Structure 1
Amino acid sequence: MTFSPLGGLLKFFAKEIGNKGGRIVAKDIQAAESSFRWTHAEKIADLKNDVGLSPSYVKELIDDSTKVEDLDKIYRYLSKPTNHYDKSMLHGLYQKLMNKVIEVDQSATLKEMIRVFKEKGMSMVDHLDYFV
């Protein structure tokens, strides 16, 4: 099947318009997605009113948390009876939550120790007296 020169030209323009239009639409979609991205703090604040979130989303919130207060809010969310998680799922989420609390607490303790060392110029012996 052969095209006339005009048909070939129209086909070329249609392809270019499609490519350019596709790039414009893709940019618009990316801009819309970036405007709807929530911060971790906003996600944690919304837990107060949310129910029935997927366990993978809750695990993601636990992993992204760096404050014990955020983890406490997740714990309160998991305690809602309206979430309808089964016992094994709750056990797994609670275990992950407790491990993260320990990790965050240890990190905070280590940061405090480093701060004290820097501010007071403490030695290891002084450290034992101060923290133990």
Structure 2
Amino acid sequence: MSKISLSILSAVLLLGLIACSNQNGQENNNDESDVNSTEQGDKGVKKDDVREIVWKQLSSEQIEFIDGTWKDGKVTIIILNENMVTHVADKSYEGKEVYLIDFPTKSKSIPNNMIVYADIDTFDYIGNGPVD
């Protein structure tokens, strides 16, 4: 009787463990698809590419600091929070969706990227973001 109970208990625990591990795998896949749906690499580039339009609005010093061209930027849509707004002159964007464009830089130190914010509707350059 105790062997049967032990076998049933083991089977239930094993099924529970398998169910939990599959659930975590599905959550990770959903996270990746969310990131991929909001990131823009060289694939799926629109005619009016936000990276190119913002690139043309950057200062010559900023462009010189970037390693590569506007095509090397990665675009993500984010909601600008108060910690990010400290580097942005126009505080009206706080709490709003904006483009975050992450450009690689020529800097040998870490972080070696430059974050730029752009208006989601007009593609206007908003400002630079803090890097970790």
User: So what's the TM-score if we normalise by structure 1?
Assistant: 0.38
Comparing both structures, which one devotes a greater share of its residues to helix? Answer: 1
Q: Which has the larger radius of gyration?
A: 1
Comparing both structures, which one devotes a greater share of its residues to strand? Answer: 2
User: So what's the TM-score if we normalise by structure 2?
Assistant: 0.38
